[in-house]
């Protein structure tokens, strides 16, 4: 179910207002954090998850430390 939202001015920034139905389906409310992830199909919006955030930080550290090794393995 595609939903159209409009980019609007919020203070000195830009943002979107999510419809009540979207907030309900995401199980989030005003003040909660969300993830915005880029995918091959576009962007994905999901609720914030502490455990997932910690996992991503560990993965980023590993990729940074072993960058050359991972490049070589990808060849």
**Residue 57 to residues 10, 22, 54, 67, Cα–Cα distance (Å):** 29, 28, 5, 15
Does 58 fall in a domain?
Answer: yes
Distance CA 18, CA 57 (A): 28
Q: What is the pLDDT of residues 13-72, one digit of tens each?
A: 999 999 999 999 999 998 999 989 899 999 998 888 788 878 989 999 999 999 999 999
In total, how many domains does the chain have? Answer: 1
**Structure confidence by residue, pLDDT tens digits, 35-47:** 898 999 999 988 8
What per-residue confidence (pLDDT) applies to 50? 81
- Asked if residue 18 lies in contact with residue 5, where contact means CB atoms within 8 angstroms, the answer is yes
Residue 34 near residue 28 (C-beta atoms within 8 A): yes
In a domain, 1, yes or no: no
**Residue at 42 is within a domain:** yes
Helix 67-74, helix 50-65: angle, nearest 10? 80
């Amino acid at each position: 179910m595609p939903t159209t939202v409009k980019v609007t001015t919020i203070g000195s920034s830009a943002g979107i207002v999510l419809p009540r139905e979207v907030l309900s389906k995401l199980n989030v409310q005003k003040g909660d954090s969300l993830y915005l992830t880029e995918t091959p199909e576009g962007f994905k919006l999901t609720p914030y998850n502490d455990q997932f955030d910690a996992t991503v930080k560990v993965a980023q550290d590993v990729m940074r430390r072993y960058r050359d090794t991972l490049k070589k393995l990808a060849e």
